[in-house]
Amino acid sequence: MNFKQYVQKGSFYAAVVEDGSDLIFLVDFDGNIHYHNSSVRGTLGYKGKTLNGKNFFDFIPSNTVDDIKEKFIHSRRRAYTEKVEIQFLCKDRSYKFLEFNAINLKHKVGLNGFILDCRDITQRKRDAEELVRLQKAKEQFLANISHEIRTPINGIAGMAGLLSQESSPEERGTYLNAIRHSAENLKVIINDILDLAAIDSGKLRFEYIPFNLHDLLPSVVSMFAYQAKEKNIGLEYNIQPSLKRILLGDPVRLNQILINLISNAVKFTHSGKIQVECSAEKREKNGCVVKIQVIDTGVGVPSDKLDTIFESFSQADASVTRKYGGSGLGLTIVKQLVELQHGTIEVKSKEHKGSNFIVRIPYSFANSAGLNKTDRPAIPQVSDKKLSGLKVLLVEDNDINRLYAKSILRQWNCMVDIAENGLVAIEKIKYNFYDVVLMDVQMPVMDGYEATRAIRVMESHMRHAPIVALTANATKTDIEKCLSSGMNDYLPKPFTPEDLYRKISSDLNIQTKNIGTPMPAVAERKASFDLAYLRSISDDNHEFLQEMLQTFVESIPPVLREMEAAVNEENWKKLSRLAHQIKPSFSLMGMTALRKTVVSIEQNGDQQVNLAELIHTTKRFIRECNAVVGDVRKEIISG
């Protein structure tokens, strides 16, 4: 039987040809093509039987022919060969990647040839190459961003070190300015990363409020006037007269778009000028498309890089980041901000000639009725009394972050309690009431996720307390993890006072309930103390136990007398400090009930609430403690 007879056999058609999705070739061991099916035309462009009689290897790139011939030779010894990748010349002279499995006909029907079952893997190869490219771009971005973050941090640390040394007032002023400048640079980079994370997570919100381009644009341009003057380049703007209208949209996001584009233009322009042009397109009765062009005479963008400059983790060249700095995310953020407002952005550029970034965003016109409906009240200043008296538990392990948040909250006259980790937070929540819990996510001992899950299953008045995650990780996955753990909302770091105010007051609408800390009943005398903890940590060391008991009976009575005096003087802050001072002793001595009581005295004394009950509870507490001191003395004597 020859190849022609084999092709004409019904078994060949039934087994191979009817499956029209794959490309089928029938070739001999030397590569001569005796048959191909109709799928070849759809994938490679060759009609009917046009490849019959030609040699398979003539369609393989010359630099890989020897390798494919070697695979053919190797396949002669095998009944079946899998997943051989080749490039095959198409009718239009382009190449496509194919992957074939080879069925050796010598083993099946005695013919010296193969059935090549081929699949088009061109897209798969392109996807793999793109993935490698993006991975390399991401790695380059991470290296760049690491450098950009370290640079201002090193500056801050260095200047802080110099401040700690003896220096003149002028030098201190210079150091502080350097620290401020480094902090601003760091903030820009971090904000870029957080903005991208917020966009990717779908959590970015857009306003729909009135604004005027004649107010907004001059303000943005003036921000860069000094930099432009230093570089001796011109910076001008022009607004078409027809745009002297009140528009409805998000001026903050438009401001962000303009800042990124003008900042880039200033950064990459060393001579000539920058022109910002605003005009109206597709003008209708109720609105128009605002066209904004940022035109510069800078270094320009190479033509082969125009398609990638809007991608995440990408700049036109890795050396750009090293030379000019920045996160490489600015244009990515601009593009997404524009498109989320149903707009478009494009760039026209010539290397060494300059660039023109063109943004088009549709806006509605505002009228008197629209102003009434869409104008929103500004965020109140810190003097606003809405949050006064709000009881806040701030759970944060970082000293600087803790000080920052606490300072903001205290400016609003909030009552702030601090917990260094999730475990401490749970202990505080057991015995206290809070209007809201601000929960850091990443902490030692117990993180925010675990702490929140524990709070949600507690048999406590705080089981349903509003919990806001404070997180530097604002990706979609991180946010979902916060919400699934039981948190009500999240606030990305770094946050401004306005962000925190909006989250508490507007988003969650939390108001103080003026509820004091519940006063637990004073402990019953039957279980006054338990030395199990002390025994466990000392390996039941008798001398250690006696010393601890002696210390307790000597240190507690003087404090109890001071507490009694503080109650009589109505000095609640002092009472709170004294309660805090002796609180650890009751934990060590296993006096669980008394510890609950002293915690409530500490908190209510500090907040100056439930005063009538506080007086009564403190006096009972003092009586019970004096009795327990007597019990401990007996233990010492008997021991």
Same domain, 301 and 180: no
Whether residue 271 is predicted with pLDDT greater than 70 in this model: the reply is yes
Please tell me the number of Cα atoms within 13 Å of 63 on its side-chain side.
1
Three-state DSSP at 230 gives helix
CATH number of the domain encompassing residue 623:
1.20.120
Give the whole-angstrom CA distance, residue 79 versus residue 93. 33
Structural domain includes residue 629: yes
Whether residue 574 is predicted with pLDDT greater than 60 in this model: the reply is yes
Pick from 56-65, 152-161, 568-577: least confident: 152-161
Which pLDDT score is estimated for 336? Answer: 84
Structural domain includes residue 382: no
For the CA atoms of the chain, what is the radius of gyration? 37
Q: Which is nearest to 635 in space by CA: 540, 537, 539, 552?
A: 552
Dmax (CA) of the chain? 117
The answer to whether 257 and 334 are in contact (CB under 8 A) is yes
The answer to whether 4 and 12 are in contact (CB under 8 A) is no
Buried b (16+ CB within 10 A) or exposed e, 448-475: bbebbebbeeeebebeebbbbbbbbbbe
pLDDT top residue among 122 and 131: 122
Structural domain includes residue 136: no
Q: How far, CA to CA in Å, does 158 sit from each of 172, 174, 182? A: 13, 12, 11
Same domain, 346 and 224: yes
Same domain, 217 and 159: no
Same domain, 366 and 222: yes
- Please provide the distance, in angstroms rounded to a whole number, between the alpha carbons at the two ends of the chain: 107
Written as six digits, the tokens of 443 are 């902490």
Which pLDDT score is estimated for 537? Answer: 63
Structural domain includes residue 407: yes
Whether residue 520 is predicted with pLDDT greater than 60 in this model: the reply is no
Mean pLDDT of 554-574: 90
Same domain, 341 and 268: yes
Strand-pairing partners, residue 179, are none
Whether residue 132 is predicted with pLDDT greater than 70 in this model: the reply is yes
Whether residue 301 is predicted with pLDDT greater than 50 in this model: the reply is yes
The type of residue at 429 is: I
The type of residue at 333 is: I
Does a cis peptide bond (omega within 30 degrees of 0) precede residue 494? yes
Q: Which is nearest to 27 in space by CA: 119, 131, 105?
A: 105
Which pLDDT score is estimated for 528? Answer: 65
SS3 content of the chain, % helix, strand, coil (to 5): 50, 20, 30
Which pLDDT score is estimated for 521? Answer: 45
Written as six digits, the tokens of 596 are 């609950």
Q: What percent of the chain has pLDDT above 90?
A: 18
Pick from 31-35, 45-49, 306-310, 605-609: least confident: 306-310
Structural domain includes residue 514: no
Pick from 326-330, 433-437, 453-457: least confident: 326-330
Same domain, 235 and 184: no
The per-residue pLDDT of the chain, averaged, comes to: 79
Residue numbers of the domain that contains 576: 525-638
Give the whole-angstrom CA distance, residue 479 versus residue 491. 10
Whether residue 236 is predicted with pLDDT greater than 90 in this model: the reply is yes
Same domain, 473 and 552: no
Q: Which of 149, 166, 201 represents a domain boundary (last residue)?
A: 201
Written as six digits, the tokens of 258 are 């303009």
Angle of CA points 141, 404, 417, to nearest 5°: 125
Which pLDDT score is estimated for 295? Answer: 95
How many residues comprise the chain? 639
Pick from 226-235, 456-465, 508-517: least confident: 508-517
Whether residue 602 is predicted with pLDDT greater than 70 in this model: the reply is yes
Structural domain includes residue 37: yes
Mean pLDDT of 57-72: 90
Q: Which of 507, 539, 569 represents a domain boundary (last residue)?
A: 507
Written as six digits, the tokens of 264 are 């880039």
Structural domain includes residue 569: yes
Residue range 186-234, pLDDT digits in tens: 666 666 666 666 665 565 677 788 888 988 888 788 777 878 888 899 9
Other Cβ atoms less than 10 A from the Cβ of 280: the count is: 18
Three-state DSSP at 567 gives helix
Where residue 321 falls among pLDDT bands split at 50, 70, 90? very low
Give the whole-angstrom CA distance, residue 103 versus residue 25. 11
Buried b (16+ CB within 10 A) or exposed e, 121-132: bbeeeeeeeeee
Where residue 343 falls among pLDDT bands split at 50, 70, 90? very high
Whether residue 239 is predicted with pLDDT greater than 90 in this model: the reply is yes
Which pLDDT score is estimated for 312? Answer: 52
Whether residue 487 is predicted with pLDDT greater than 70 in this model: the reply is yes
The type of residue at 307 is: D
Same domain, 38 and 94: yes
Which pLDDT score is estimated for 476? Answer: 67
Whether residue 307 is predicted with pLDDT greater than 70 in this model: the reply is yes
Structural domain includes residue 126: no
Residue range 360-393, pLDDT digits in tens: 999 998 763 344 333 333 434 444 567 888 899 9
SS (H, E, C) 427-442: HHHHHCCCCEEEEECC
Where residue 313 falls among pLDDT bands split at 50, 70, 90? very low
Which pLDDT score is estimated for 451? Answer: 93
Whether residue 235 is predicted with pLDDT greater than 90 in this model: the reply is yes
pLDDT top residue among 604 and 144: 604
User: Could you tell me which residues come within 8 angstroms of residue 346 by beta carbon, excluding any fewer than 6 positions away?
Assistant: 357, 358
Residue whose pair of structure tokens reads 């009140």 in the numeric block: 246
- Predicted structure pTM score: 0.38
Count of structural domains, the chain: 5
Same domain, 244 and 370: yes
The answer to whether 107 and 121 are in contact (CB under 8 A) is no
SS (H, E, C) 79-115: CEEEEEEEEEECCCCCEEEEEEEEEEHHHHCCCCEEE
For CA atoms 529, 533, 534, 536, give the dihedral sign: positive
Query: Is beta strand 287-296 parallel, antiparallel or unpaired with respect to 273-281?
Result: antiparallel
Mean pLDDT of 17-30: 75
Three-state DSSP at 508 gives coil
For CA atoms 23, 25, 29, 32, give the dihedral sign: negative
CATH number of the domain encompassing residue 418:
3.40.50.2300
Same domain, 217 and 197: no
Whether residue 395 is predicted with pLDDT greater than 80 in this model: the reply is yes
Strand-pairing partners, residue 115, are 26, 103
pLDDT top residue among 508 and 425: 425
Sheet containing 95-104, strands listed edge to edge, beginning at the edge strand earlier in sequence: 33-36, 23-28, 113-120, 95-104, 80-89
Same domain, 167 and 215: no
Same domain, 502 and 538: no
Which pLDDT score is estimated for 41? Answer: 84
Which pLDDT score is estimated for 356? Answer: 94
Whether residue 545 is predicted with pLDDT greater than 70 in this model: the reply is yes
CATH number of the domain encompassing residue 297:
3.30.565.10
